[in-house]
Structure 1
């Protein structure tokens, strides 16, 4: 029987301002768009909510702004049962905002303003030590300062807690040498090329680039390739996990659904490959609905989705 995992997210939260458009405007062009929605997002919060909706126990270490969005963000996290005692207010700063534009195909373009996320510090991580060291897994992204990510990786190694880093959005100054004790690195193809300095146009090149990072101390590399699926690379070799074919409505937040799902399934079962297959299904379900967190399946919704897939 699967266990209930204890997952900590040291990362970002955002307010999503989503515009659904018939096409992207050209520079200098003004278009009328069919619809607009506002919701809660941010890579850290999205991944936390995905894992929480699947039944994991979550704690969040994050910063919100001292504006109208801050209290709403905290209430939103609490609504999913996420422990927010270490989600604090950065006085005088705005909350993080993501401006998202979605085309009819489901493809999207996103601008982010980090806001209060830029104030999350190593001291905030240390203040949450009691909860973090009791976690099965600590999950991070790059919408917060790099020094905070490095500090979290180092402290987690001291505590013997497994770690996952999603190196997004891409940061050219990310120091791989500071990630030597990381359990899992989860980049996309572009991020892998940037971090390794190697080409990633084919599976052999992806494996070689990932192995170069593993040689520097990272435990395993999980490369997300969209419709081409996922590649799990360890020191023993590479395994392909196929994508799940569905009709996409909105791909916003699908990567976060995958990573949050993977974190849950990994802590629940301890089986990395099985967790990746389940996470691929969870991400596929998320693109069949609009939005980010609201498109993530609950346990019951995901079970029904898997039943339909298995009956195909």
Structure 2
């Protein structure tokens, strides 16, 4: 990577997001009917990289997904807009992170996150990420 070309490095969470809409929060032990299921790739880092590419900025995503069937679905959006995924690692024996999001009619939301592979960083992974960041310094 050269210093004269702008690039966004997005390091961090890569999730499969399951979002639904609800009229209200459920009470303890209550089953509440919800609607408008959205199943999409997400996570703070993946979302930033995706949006940067949509705005015409080169983007590189650094993070982890699991070795499960959610990994490919999670990366579909960033791949479709040509985010550099060469620094996304599939972690053997780990599940891809999963966020379960409930949005009320007033826009208030709650998120339950199973971080899974997002938290599976080894010393070698940290060093590799540091090298990518260093290669972008002017």
The TM-score with structure 2 as length reference comes to 0.87
Aligned length: 135
Gap regions ≥5 residues in structure 1: 136-158, 161-312
Deviation at 1:122, TM superposition (A): 4.0
Whether the 8 Å contact between 1:6 and 1:56 is mirrored in structure 2 is: yes
- Find the counterpart in structure 1 of residue 55 from structure 2: 54
**For residue 94 of structure 2, what is the aligned residue in structure 1?**
93
> Matched residue of 1:44: which SS?
helix
Q: Which has the higher contact order (CA 8 A, sep 6+)?
A: 2
Deviations 1:234-288 (A, max 9, x none): xxxxxxxxxxxxxxxxxxxxxxxxxxxxxxxxxxxxxxxxxxxxxxxxxxxxxxx
| Match runs of 1:20-169 below 5 Å | 20-129=21-130, 131-135=132-136
Matched ranges for 1:186-265 at <5 A? none
* CA-based RMSD: 2.0
Offset, 1:130:
5.1
Higher helix share: 1
CA deviation after TM superposition for structure 1 residue 129, in Å: 5.0
Give, in whole Å, the separation in 2 of the partners of 1:28 and 1:75.
Answer: 35
Does the Cα contact within 8 Å between 1:14 and 1:97 map onto a contact in 2?
yes
Local SS of the residue matching 2:8: strand
- Secondary structure, counterpart of 1:87 in structure 2: strand
Paired residue secondary structure (1:133): helix
Q: Contact between 1:19 and 1:102, CA under 8 Å: does it hold in 2?
A: yes
Structure 2, unmatched stretches of 5+, are none
- Aligned equivalents of 1:96, 1:102: Cα separation in 2: 19
Flag the structure with larger Rg.
1
Superposition TM-score, scaled by structure 1 size: 0.40
What secondary structure, in the 3-state scheme, does the structure 1 residue paired with 2:135 have?
A: coil
CA 1:37 to 1:75, structure 2 compared with 1: closer, same or farther past 3 Å? Answer: closer
Give the conservation status (yes or no) of the 8 Å contact 1:22–1:34: no
User: Structure 1 residue runs of 4+, over 3 Å off?
Assistant: 128-131
Matched residue, 1:13: 14
